[in-house]
Amino acid sequence: MGRCIWAGTAASVLIVAGGIIVGPGASSHGPALRLAGYAASYAGIVTLVGAWLYLGRALARSPGTPSSVVLGALVAWGLPMLCGPVLFSRDIFSYAAQGREIVVGINPYHHGPAALGGGAYLPYVSRMWADARSPYGPFFLGIDALIVRHAGQHVMVAVGLLRLLACAGVALLAVALPRLASSCGADPSSALWLGVLNPLMLLHVVSGGHNEGLMLGLMVAGLACAREGRFAAGLVLCLVAATVKMPAAVGALYVGADWIRSCPDGLARARATLRLVATALATAVTLTAAAGLGWGWLGTVTTPTRVKSALSVTTDIGQAAGKVLTGLGAGVPAGWALSTARLVGLGAALALAGLLLASGSRRPSAAGVGLTLLAVVALGPVIQPWYVLWGMVPLAAAGPGRFRPVLIYISAGLCLLVLPDGRAVTGLVMVGFMAGTGAVSVMSYV
């Protein structure tokens, strides 16, 4: 296992070295140097994925391995990325700009960062998101504003503090996930390996700074509390997670359902229902009032759908159908096929989510949450590689069973689909990467 950990550490250093040349905030360089930067980063990613796969195989062959081994690997692999530049996404610059909006009195639920009109923060924001309203909840934006207020005009200070916030979520996850796994009868070390040491977590949360880290840390802590019988605390934590990003509301639904199911009779269930409704309302109202931005966060959750993701099945079907209908001269409104396909996908995801919730007593809540969120991602209108973590992390705690090889393959493949500067890999290159990574996964793990 020691060799795997050293290999992963070297891989992280290589990723950072390449990212300094070709990352989102890198200076302009000549073609030869940029090619060297991409080569170094991709060599590092492939090595990191390989080290992760081999460590997973070693853990599978040595049941009962202490969680400290995986946590040691997490620190060794994550620290170089945390100390390096932001890689694989520019989203964290949008976070900082939204915080700046709040500081200067602009509501990010009403206006995108372009409303800043200039200044230190706006130039770092991707053009795609410059006029986009914030899809994040009041808890996250409240902390975001505090960070930016402290950083002032120093954008990189704000970004560094936001990355530390994401890593604080990962640290909470590293504490809560083994507890949840143990309560579900799963191996804590294996859960940490799949859910926290996952290269997607390292590349897109530790390095990229996505707020999935904070959302998942709070949600898993809530699920762990509920599993231990502390339903009110679990519900509050999941609701706070949902005010970071809305998908965590699925965790709150399952905690509430478990709370009601734990009651011995109808009267107790009625009392529990009243308590959970009161707790949910009090939490939402308190956090929304504290942020001082109103309830706009409930109406901006569709902001990410402006991206036409090549990984989204429903988006691909909708776009293809639209081209066919246009070619046939059907005369349907522009975008109708795409909107219809996306709505059908979301409807199917909601139906599956309802079935999973209704049959929740047959499996640990962590499994239900994980499967539901994976369905939402798979059938949703937009898929980003790090979205897969929404369902993978709780499912890792529940013991993924027959889904384990699939989750491993998906994790390994998605790591290669975003360039260090945040641009997506598409077309035949994407197919080639997925096929190659699948072969490596099979050879390394099976």
Nearest to 283 by CA among 242, 328, 338, 336: 242
What pLDDT, on a 0 to 100 scale, did the predictor assign at position 75? 95
**Residue 399 belongs to some domain of the structure:** yes
Domain of residue 413: give its range: 2-307+384-445
**Residue 336 belongs to some domain of the structure:** no
What pLDDT, on a 0 to 100 scale, did the predictor assign at position 49? 93
**Residue 279 belongs to some domain of the structure:** yes
Q: Which two tokens stand for residue 84?
A: 């390096």
**Residue 272 belongs to some domain of the structure:** yes
Work out the burial of residue 145: count CB atoms within 10 Å of its CB; fewer than 13 is exposed, 13-18 middle, 19 or more buried.
Answer: buried
**Residue 315 belongs to some domain of the structure:** no
Per-residue pLDDT of the chain (446 residues; tens, 9 = 90+): 678 888 999 999 999 999 888 877 666 777 888 888 888 888 899 999 999 999 988 888 888 788 899 999 999 999 999 999 999 989 999 999 999 999 999 999 999 999 998 888 999 998 888 888 999 999 999 999 999 999 999 999 999 999 999 999 999 999 999 999 999 888 999 999 999 999 999 999 999 999 999 999 999 999 999 999 899 999 999 999 999 999 999 999 999 999 998 888 888 889 989 998 999 999 999 999 999 999 998 888 877 776 777 777 788 788 788 777 777 766 667 677 787 888 888 899 889 888 888 886 677 889 999 999 999 998 888 888 999 999 999 999 988 777 888 889 888 888 888 888 777 776 545 555 555 555 554 444 44
Q: How far is CA 269 from CA 265, 273, 275, 276, 358, in A?
A: 6, 6, 10, 10, 16
Q: Is 86 within 8 Å of 25 (Cβ atoms)?
A: yes
Work out the burial of residue 411: count CB atoms within 10 Å of its CB; fewer than 13 is exposed, 13-18 middle, 19 or more buried.
Answer: buried
**Residue 205 belongs to some domain of the structure:** yes
What pLDDT, on a 0 to 100 scale, did the predictor assign at position 446? 44
**Residue 30 belongs to some domain of the structure:** yes
Total number of domains in the chain: 1
What pLDDT, on a 0 to 100 scale, did the predictor assign at position 441? 47
**Residue 352 belongs to some domain of the structure:** no
